[in-house]
Amino acid sequence: MALEPGADPYSKSMRETIKTVEATRSRRMTEEFTRITADQKADLLKKYHPDHKAGEMVEIKVGVSKGEKTPKEVEAVIQAYSRLEPKSFDLSDIDFDVDVLVIGGGGAGSSAALMAHEQGAKVLLTTKLRLGDANTMMAQGGIQAADKPNDPPSRHYLDVIGGGGYYNIPELVRALVLDAPDVIGWLQDLGTMFDKTADGTYVTIHGGGTSRRRMHAARDYSGAEIMRTLRDEVLNRGIEVVEFTSAIELLKDDKGKCAGAVLFNMETEEHFVCRAKTTVIATGGAGRLHVQGFPTTNHYGATADGLVLAYRAGAPFIFMDAIQYHPTGAAYPEQILGLLVTEKVRGMGAQLVNFDGDQFIYPLETRDVVSSGIIRECRERKKGIATNTGMVGVWLDSPMIDLKHGPGTVKKALPAMVRQYERCDIDMTRDPILIYPTQHYQNGGVIINDRAEAGIGNLFIGGEAAGGIHGRNRLMGNSLLDILVFGRRAGLNAAALSKKTKIGKLTLKHTEDYHKELEAAGISREKISPMLLPDYRTPDTKERQKGQVPLGGAV
Amino acid sequence: MAAKKAATKPKAKKAAKDAGPEMVDIFIMGKKYDVPKGLTIQKALEYAGMTLLRGCGCRGGFCGACGTVYRTAGDYKLKVALACQTVVEDGMYLTQIPFYPANKAIYDINKLEPVLEDVVQCYPEFMRCVQCGTCTKVCPQDIDVMQYMATAMRGDITRTADISFDCIMCGLCASRCPAETVQYYVGILNRRLYGKYIAPPAKHVAERIKEIKASKFDREIDDFMKMDQKELQKIYEARDIEPEDLAAETATAASGEKND
């Protein structure tokens, strides 16, 4: 950015509060803020967590999870009509005929594709952006696995289920924690470069809600390191990948089981029929729906497409009313608003500090609790720090890390973070950074079992689109783990099942039926999903585009 | 990506002076648009009316989809940026390079050895590197690409892995390379060789996998699975928390060598 040399990236009023933060720092270095009790947590969540804000959650009126609640923004894409006309769409011409169709090219999709391919299945991976353009690539902090002598997987189980508010589906947590060490071994075997000591022991640290240090990291490019390696491997194995192509509707056969999908080439706007013996949905989350107008840490394509497809085909949801707000999204400056400031910053000792230079919450409570604490501090107690654009946040005292662990620690352990702020002329090793919660993760999703099956036959789901694993609140480092555990299970089981599967006549009758339900519920015909990509056009642009016909005319 | 707006209306700029944000002129693939100051290049493209399909991925500086080459009016120098991480400047002429047709070798990582010969076999052209440093200048991650090409040519896989670690594989290095090498693919090959063959395998992971296969933890987990919330909660609340180990947290990957 083009700041004059020596110019302050922070406004005068922000600089004043930084001085307060600096003044209290030496006192806080030795101060540990008390963790709050279970009752206090419950009260804090009820009053300040965005999920509990009145009027934001609405009841789903159609489909198998009728009566359950979800944010308005999610409801809008769930209760919408297909991009296809199901009655007249021609399914007789099969463009792709495969054993396993994988929808989504992130960590879950790639690991599913690798596993299915290894079993000898003919695999097609379709993704609406490029292979690897996914939230996996953006995950910084790390991946949990109980693989140290003091940390049995049962301990991991306890942390996951307590963090999830005891709502988690036990068999899924069991699968998660018992597969975890094998996932680490698999990543090691693929040649990922995680932080290790000289004898090969993984360096592990705490994350919010962990009782053992079990976060494995690759500096702060943990997800990127996993994703670029999986992508390299998918390409090396010669798995067929179709990019810039989304799945816009699942297909079923006349026995009512999933039988592939209709694919849409987003560049040429052509439709293709893909018949598949088994299908894996690995389309990730919903951050780009911007629930309650929150900024998001999520990648460009996180628009809940897989949820829409699976739900229309009859797969039920769980916990679709539990959205995770990451406590530390960038609140300043404007160009990085909402981007992730990894939990590792807190894991390494940076405290959350208010206008008065005081701590107000233990920094490694679970994410829902920390987020609610920050919202309370800013909204009710009015002890946030305002920026010049009207955003309010609290300080994350990042300079504490080098003070605790020695100069150069932040640069070495958090290069992505340092770079992100350097691009804005902020030196996070010297100055604190301003943060506020940001929409980060969908805790719920489509219910799966421990084989990653979605319950409608021949359909598997891996990654963030699946629900039940994390209860109502996921812990840091369990998402990179979850996508690989259930991505791999989805791929393995989909390949095995494909060997026994014979697909009958293809149909979109389920879409027709869903349309009838929508009509009966009085849903407007103008509502169409999946969204595929968020719409960031300005109102001016939309106005000027009105009435346009495609180039080449409309004949 | 298609420019759908015919031209920027001159009155927009005037109106902006009265109430709206301060505007700057940018030239998207040579065509002028005026956009509010302070937007990232990516948001400026959207402000200009474009719907991005190519050249936009994570929007957070990690995926490498939005590598951008630009020049500002009055300057001959070409600069590079990630469109999602860089704020527009007045008089910026820009084009995105969302894809570069670089050669990626297809290999079986299990059949390679961590030696120079095997890297050369995958990418014979990389030894043509003339150490001109154009790649280093063009890297939006500020990686010393030329340096890791030098260590790679020496067969120092450990150093190459370490120096290239922050690569987001946008491909801008390859796009400017006079020797037509593919630095970013050489980088990931070296990192995978390092991770798989040079970094010592974690004994504690192998041990744990063995224990899990022997069902060592099944009973305790099965017991937890049967408990109701009250019981579980009691155990959860009472669990001890391992103290932070400050020394371990600061240890890092690779060899402990310093690259800069």
Q: Could you count the other beta carbons within 10 Å of the beta carbon of residue A293?
A: 7
User: Within chain A, what is the greatest distance between any pair of CA atoms?
Assistant: 74
Provide the pLDDT confidence category of residue A334 given band limits of 50, 70 and 90: confident
Is A363 in the B-facing interface, judged by CB distances under 8 Å?
Answer: no
Reported as a single tens digit per residue, the pLDDT across A407-437 is: 999 999 999 899 999 988 999 999 999 999 9
Q: What is the pLDDT of residue B245?
A: 65
Is A535 in the B-facing interface, judged by CB distances under 8 Å?
Answer: yes
- Residue A21 CA to its chain's centroid (Å): 32
8 Å CB contact of B53 and A232: no
- β partners of residue A460: A280, A453
User: How far is it, in rounded angstroms, from Cα B112 to Cα A62?
Assistant: 54
Out of A182, A203, A212, closest to residue B248 by CB: A203
Residue A433's H or E segment, with its range, is strand A433-442
Segment 70-99 of chain A within 8 Å of chain B by CB: none
Residues in chain A: 555
Structure tokens belonging to residue A295: 């900024």
Distance from CA of A533 to the nearest CA of B (A): 8
Whether pLDDT at B15 is above 50: no
Is residue B80 helix, strand or coil?
strand
Out of A196, A221, A420, closest to residue B199 by CB: A196
- β partners of residue A42: none
For A165-269, where are the E strands, in sequence order? 204-205, 215-216, 240-242, 245-253, 258-265
Cβ(A403)–Cβ(A22) below 8 Å? no
8 Å CB contact of B221 and A533: no
Residue A335: closest C-alpha in chain B: B40
Cβ(A216)–Cβ(A204) below 8 Å? yes
Residues of chain B with Cβ-Cβ distance to A132 below 8 Å are 63
H-type helices in chain B, by residue range?
10-18, 41-47, 116-122, 134-138, 145-153, 157-163, 172-176, 183-193, 203-213, 218-226, 229-238, 246-250
- For residues A292-303, average pLDDT: 94
- β partners of residue A296: A439
User: How far is it, in rounded angstroms, from Cα B194 to Cα A8?
Assistant: 41
Is A30 in the B-facing interface, judged by CB distances under 8 Å?
Answer: no
User: How far is it, in rounded angstroms, from Cα A415 to Cα A397?
Assistant: 17
Residue A399's H or E segment, with its range, is helix A399-405
Cβ(A452)–Cβ(A493) below 8 Å? yes
Structure tokens belonging to residue A189: 């075997």
Nearest Cα to Cα of residue A476 among A110, A164, A151: A164
Cβ(A414)–Cβ(B250) below 8 Å? no
User: How far is it, in rounded angstroms, from Cα A523 to Cα B28?
Assistant: 40
Whether pLDDT at B3 is above 50: no
Domains of chain B by start residue, with CATH:
20-96 (3.10.20.740), 109-198 (1.10.1060.10), 207-239 (no CATH)
CA dihedral A119, A124, A129, A134 (to 10 degrees): -20
Q: Catalytic amino acids of A? A: 326, 346
Provide the pLDDT confidence category of residue A41 given band limits of 50, 70 and 90: very high
Distance from CA of B163 to the nearest CA of A (A): 12
Reported as a single tens digit per residue, the pLDDT across A149-200 is: 999 999 999 999 999 999 999 999 999 999 999 999 999 999 999 999 999 9
The string of DSSP letters for A252-287 reads: EETTS-EEEEEEEETTTTEEEEEEEEEEEE-----G
Is A399 in the B-facing interface, judged by CB distances under 8 Å?
Answer: no
Express as a percent the part of chain B with pLDDT over 90: 82
CA distances from B110 to A120, A189, A224, B104, B196 (A): 18, 9, 22, 17, 9
Cβ(A187)–Cβ(A210) below 8 Å? no
Whether pLDDT at A515 is above 70: yes
Out of A137, A205, A420, closest to residue B63 by CB: A137
8 Å CB contact of A185 and B240: no
Distance from CA of A412 to the nearest CA of B (A): 8
Is A211 in the B-facing interface, judged by CB distances under 8 Å?
Answer: yes
Domains of chain A by start residue, with CATH:
12-52+325-439 (3.90.700.10), 96-130+222-322+443-507 (3.50.50.60)
Strands A270-281 and A258-265, bridge-based pairing: antiparallel
- β partners of residue A436: A329
**How does the average pLDDT of chain A come out, rounded?**
95
- The per-residue b/e assignment along A370-400, b for 16 or more CB within 10 angstroms, e otherwise, is bbbbbbbbbeeeebbbbbeeebbbbbbbbbb
Q: Could you count the other beta carbons within 10 Å of the beta carbon of residue B256?
A: 11
Q: Residue type at B226? A: K
Distance from CA of B252 to the nearest CA of A (A): 5
Reported as a single tens digit per residue, the pLDDT across A206-236 is: 988 999 999 999 998 999 999 999 999 999 9
Q: Residue type at A543? A: E
Q: What is the pLDDT of residue B257?
A: 34
- For residues A436-464, average pLDDT: 97
Q: What is the pLDDT of residue A256?
A: 96
Residue A440's H or E segment, with its range, is strand A433-442
User: Residue A289: which residues within 8 A CB-CB, separation 6 or more?
Assistant: A71, A73, A74, A76, A77, A302, A303, A304, A531, A534
Provide the pLDDT confidence category of residue A335 given band limits of 50, 70 and 90: confident
Q: What is the pLDDT of residue A550?
A: 83
Place of tokens 């490498």: B64
User: How far is it, in rounded angstroms, from Cα A291 to Cα A320?
Assistant: 12
DSSP label of B111: G
Provide the pLDDT confidence category of residue A5 given band limits of 50, 70 and 90: low
Out of A166, A300, A415, closest to residue B166 by CB: A415
Reported as a single tens digit per residue, the pLDDT across A368-407 is: 999 999 999 999 999 999 988 788 999 999 999 999 999 9
8 Å CB contact of A203 and B251: yes
Structure tokens belonging to residue B52: 């991005």
Provide the pLDDT confidence category of residue A6 given band limits of 50, 70 and 90: confident
Q: Could you count the other beta carbons within 10 Å of the beta carbon of residue B246?
A: 14
8 Å CB contact of A182 and B200: no
Provide the pLDDT confidence category of residue B21 given band limits of 50, 70 and 90: confident
- β partners of residue A359: A353
The string of DSSP letters for A32-46 reads: -PPPPPHHHHHHHHH
Is residue A70 helix, strand or coil?
strand
User: How far is it, in rounded angstroms, from Cα A437 to Cα A50?
Assistant: 10
Nearest Cα to Cα of residue A172 among A319, A57, A364, A365: A319
Q: Which three-class secondary structure string do you get for A321-388? A: CCEEEEEEEECCCHHHCCCECCCHHHHCCCCEECCCCCECCCCCCCHHHHHHHHHHHHHCCCCCEECC
User: How far is it, in rounded angstroms, from Cα A391 to Cα A393?
Assistant: 7
Express as a percent the part of chain A with pLDDT over 90: 91
Is A150 in the B-facing interface, judged by CB distances under 8 Å?
Answer: yes
Cβ(A207)–Cβ(A475) below 8 Å? yes
Segment 418-447 of chain A within 8 Å of chain B by CB: 419-420, 423
8 Å CB contact of B200 and A334: no
Whether pLDDT at A549 is above 50: yes
8 Å CB contact of A213 and B5: no
Residue B213: exposed, middle, or buried by beta-carbon count in 10 A (0-12, 13-18, 19+)?
Answer: exposed
DSSP label of B200: P
Residues of chain A with Cβ-Cβ distance to B233 below 8 Å are 38, 162, 166
8 Å CB contact of A535 and B43: no
Whether pLDDT at A493 is above 50: yes
- For residues A516-530, average pLDDT: 97
Is A542 in the B-facing interface, judged by CB distances under 8 Å?
Answer: no
**How does the average pLDDT of chain B come out, rounded?**
89
Distance from CA of A77 to the nearest CA of B (A): 20
DSSP label of A95: S
Out of B47, B85, B249, closest to residue A423 by CB: B85
